Chain A
Amino acid sequence: MDLYEHDAKRIFSKYGIPVPAGDLVTDARQAGEIAAKLGHVAIKAQVLAGGRGKAGGILTAATPQEAVQKAERIMGMSIKGLTVKKLLVEEYKKPEKEMYIGITIDRKARSPVFIAATEGGVDIEEIAKSSPEKIFRTHINPLTGIHDYQVRSVAYLLGRADSASISNLVRKLYMIFTDHDCMLAEINPLVRTSGAFYALDAKMVIDDNSLFRQEFAQEEEDELSALAKQHGMSYVGLDGDIGCMVNGAGLAMATLDMIEQHGGRPANFMDVRAGADEEQIRTALQIVSANKNVKVIIINIFGGLTRCDEVARAIAGREIKIPLVIRLAGTHEEEGRKILSDHGISMAMSTQEVARRAVELGHTH
């Protein structure tokens, strides 16, 4: 899960990484009160999307009146489909120098990698492509943590004169990264202003698998994904009209691909996960059919721990009117088939067939 800038900054601040003084507001008028205290301020849209500056979601204001005007302009605007409901109003820091530091996970090396660049405030992936020589990388052994020599090499790169303060920031960022099970912990830009360093922006992405030991409230963008997650399932809304309910992420992706191969458009991705029971299948059907675009629903189960008879019972007892195309295979397949045929429901024999039949059915409805 991604953290909002203001949440990440609160964590940075707790660890002693300096961030500009500021506060979160939900009402544009409050921006004036904060500006009255802080003077020149930056007003920043709090949405979980990149490119906020380009979209006009970050503005500065010299007076409280201007702060209110600018805050009104940003509040409620849409950035990459997300409505701005919260603003971070903080002391404006004029950067003398902008840099980048961040830690992410290198899947191939199976370890954290510390990344630093002498340029900041821009997209680090862009720099990586256009001028890779400007980017410094060092892999960290997860059993030992970051070594002093690695810390020094980052500090010397970013500013010999300030190496003590930079080393301090590097160590703290690594502590944040490990303490919070981060997939990414990033300061972009890290700025130097009047001899001091500040994290002007803060980004943290937390590993969803770690949430049993991390105290972050999960915030889903949409209700259906949130509902699915509550029930241990995974749902991603798409823009087609064929609803999908599949066990297993790979099989679910294969099902979507085959729908497109047959000329159809999937309405969603859904992995009901292994071991789904009757109750869970019923909930999954409700979630998939809640999307008003859905004309037909595919149920594609290859049961290991999931039992076909339980799935069949949930289908037989359904209340929705949307036509279903079903394929059940694996554990208790025969029992499942019998329950469905007793209810006059036929079954496809493969993912290929279920996709083809759903696309045909979608065209006739």
Chain B
Amino acid sequence: MGILINKNTRVLVQGITGHEGSFHTAQMKEFGTDVAGGVTPGKGGSEVFGIPVFDSVKEAVEEVDPDATVVFVPPRFTADAIFEAIDSEIELIVCITEGVPVHDMMRICAYLEGSSSRLIGPNCPGITTPGGSKAGIMPNPIHLPGNIGLVSRSGTLTYEIIDLLSKGGLGQSTSVGIGGDPIIGTSFVEILNLFEEDPATHAVVLVGEIGGTAEQDAIDFIEAMSKPVIAYVVGVSAPPGKTMGHAGAIVSKGGGTAREKIQAFESAGIMVGNSPEDIVNKLKNIVII
């Protein structure tokens, strides 16, 4: 089980002939993902690792009928690639690209409303359902099938947490990176809702960062959940007014500090870990594997 993707999910790769697109296509295939096709305008008719490449998403839909698409297209062309996927009614769009302009993201999110698509990202590592499928760029060897759901705004930090969970014998139902940008397609709450409804998920790890109020916005939902949630928020040492790598990771005058978020979780009675090791230890105490 798990959420969003499973072994039957047919995945399309937009930007499949690029450096990152082709590298991660190979990695996804190796993981066991059913990569059904790829799109690069102008390269239609060619193949990448035996996977057919199309000029447009529409053609790919007609020929290979994908359920999901992973977007590696560079920032200049990302918005167009996502609009194309929405218009082709692809259910799940996972945008890996970092550096998509915020104004493009606002238009995309407005366009998504009323469409049949869900967008994960941008600027995210994608989704992995261990033992099932991977739509994204998380390293292959770190995952272990199990009952922990993971949702995170980070990339490499997510890998470290997954790695420690697996080494500690705590497998994952699905790990989802929702992205580190100020405006993203899918929120913490939407993913938490899917985990709550997924019988294979017994507990959830939520990884947050400085900037915005996405973590606080999830509190009401977490309180109403039947499954335990443990939160981890990084950036306690971040100075205000400085962008810490991600466009979304900035403590501004309006708030968004790690301490505010941690305090908000704690005062709502939600468990907070202070390091990846601490999360694993705390989880071991509450989960029956």
- Mark A residues whose CB is within 8 Å of B: 105, 107-108, 110-112, 125, 141-143, 178, 181, 183, 207-210, 212-213, 234, 236, 238, 246-254, 256-261, 266, 269, 271, 273-275, 302-305, 329-331, 350-352
- Complex Cα gap A248–B152 (Å): 13
- State whether A181 touches B238 (Cβ < 8 A): no
Other than the known A236-B242, A251-B156, what 9 A-B pairs have Cβ atoms closer than 8 Å?
A: A125-B253, A248-B154, A249-B155, A249-B245, A254-B157, A257-B234, A271-B244, A304-B159, A330-B142
- State whether A271 touches B277 (Cβ < 8 A): no
CB distance from A353 to the nearest CB of B (A): 10
Among B3-11, B32-40, B206-214, the one that faces the other chain is B206-214
Among B20, B239, B248, which residue has its beta carbon within 8 angstroms of that of A236? B239
- Complex Cα gap A266–B244 (Å): 14
Residue interface bits B82-109, CB-to-A below 8 A is 1, else 0: 0000000000000000111111011101
- Complex Cα gap A147–B238 (Å): 39
- State whether A331 touches B106 (Cβ < 8 A): no
- State whether A260 touches B139 (Cβ < 8 A): no
- State whether B183 touches A250 (Cβ < 8 A): no
- Complex Cα gap A210–B182 (Å): 14
Q: A110-B183, A209-B75 are in contact. Are A142 and B110 (CB under 8 A)?
A: yes
Which residue on B lies nearest to A112, using beta carbons? B106
CB distance from A354 to the nearest CB of B (A): 11
- Complex Cα gap A330–B103 (Å): 34
CB distance from A180 to the nearest CB of B (A): 9
- Complex Cα gap A306–B282 (Å): 31
Q: A105-B106, A250-B152 are in contact. Are A271 and B111 (CB under 8 A)?
A: no
- Complex Cα gap A234–B142 (Å): 26
Q: Does B287 contact A (CB under 8 A)?
A: no
Contacts of B276 in A (CB 8 A): 254, 350-352
Among B142, B153, B238, which residue has its beta carbon within 8 angstroms of that of A269? B238
- State whether A352 touches B76 (Cβ < 8 A): no
Q: A252-B245, A331-B139 are in contact. Are A108 and B239 (CB under 8 A)?
A: no
Contacts of A330 in B (CB 8 A): 139, 142, 159
Q: Does B243 contact A (CB under 8 A)?
A: yes
- Complex Cα gap A256–B238 (Å): 8
Contacts of A213 in B (CB 8 A): 76, 101
* A-B pairs with beta carbons under 8 Å apart, 13 shown: A112-B106, A142-B106, A143-B107, A183-B102, A210-B102, A249-B155, A249-B180, A250-B153, A252-B245, A254-B160, A261-B274, A274-B98, A305-B20
Q: Does B237 contact A (CB under 8 A)?
A: yes
Q: A304-B138, A329-B160 are in contact. Are A209 and B237 (CB under 8 A)?
A: no
CB distance from A181 to the nearest CB of B (A): 5
Contacts of B163 in A (CB 8 A): 302, 329
Contacts of B209 in A (CB 8 A): 249-250, 253
CB distance from B242 to the nearest CB of A (A): 5
Q: A305-B137, A350-B276 are in contact. Are A143 and B111 (CB under 8 A)?
A: yes
Among A142, A259, A352, which residue has its beta carbon within 8 angstroms of that of B237? A259
- State whether B183 touches A105 (Cβ < 8 A): yes
Contacts of B212 in A (CB 8 A): 107-108
User: Which residues 24-79 of B sit at the A interface, judged by CB distance below 8 A?
Assistant: 24, 75-76
Q: Does B235 contact A (CB under 8 A)?
A: yes
CB distance from B250 to the nearest CB of A (A): 10
- Complex Cα gap A272–B214 (Å): 25
- Complex Cα gap A271–B156 (Å): 11
Q: Does B246 contact A (CB under 8 A)?
A: yes
- Complex Cα gap A234–B244 (Å): 8
Q: Does B275 contact A (CB under 8 A)?
A: yes
Q: A108-B212, A236-B244 are in contact. Are A351 and B234 (CB under 8 A)?
A: no
CB distance from A316 to the nearest CB of B (A): 22
Which residue on B lies nearest to A238, using beta carbons? B239
Q: A258-B275, A304-B125, A304-B137 are in contact. Are A250 and B234 (CB under 8 A)?
A: yes
- State whether B102 touches A253 (Cβ < 8 A): no
CB distance from B33 to the nearest CB of A (A): 15
CB distance from A319 to the nearest CB of B (A): 26
Contacts of B109 in A (CB 8 A): 110-111
Q: Does B217 contact A (CB under 8 A)?
A: yes
- State whether B23 touches A249 (Cβ < 8 A): no
- State whether B217 touches A248 (Cβ < 8 A): no
Contacts of A275 in B (CB 8 A): 19-20
- Complex Cα gap A207–B107 (Å): 15
- Complex Cα gap A350–B276 (Å): 9
- State whether A143 touches B244 (Cβ < 8 A): no
Q: A108-B212, A142-B110, A304-B156 are in contact. Are A257 and B236 (CB under 8 A)?
A: yes
- Complex Cα gap A351–B157 (Å): 9
Q: Does B247 contact A (CB under 8 A)?
A: yes
- Complex Cα gap A303–B242 (Å): 25
- State whether B237 touches A207 (Cβ < 8 A): no
- Complex Cα gap A204–B108 (Å): 23
Q: A110-B106, A236-B242, A305-B23 are in contact. Are A248 and B275 (CB under 8 A)?
A: no
Residue interface bits B138-182, CB-to-A below 8 A is 1, else 0: 110010000000001111111110011000000000000000101
- State whether A256 touches B237 (Cβ < 8 A): yes
- State whether B234 touches A254 (Cβ < 8 A): yes
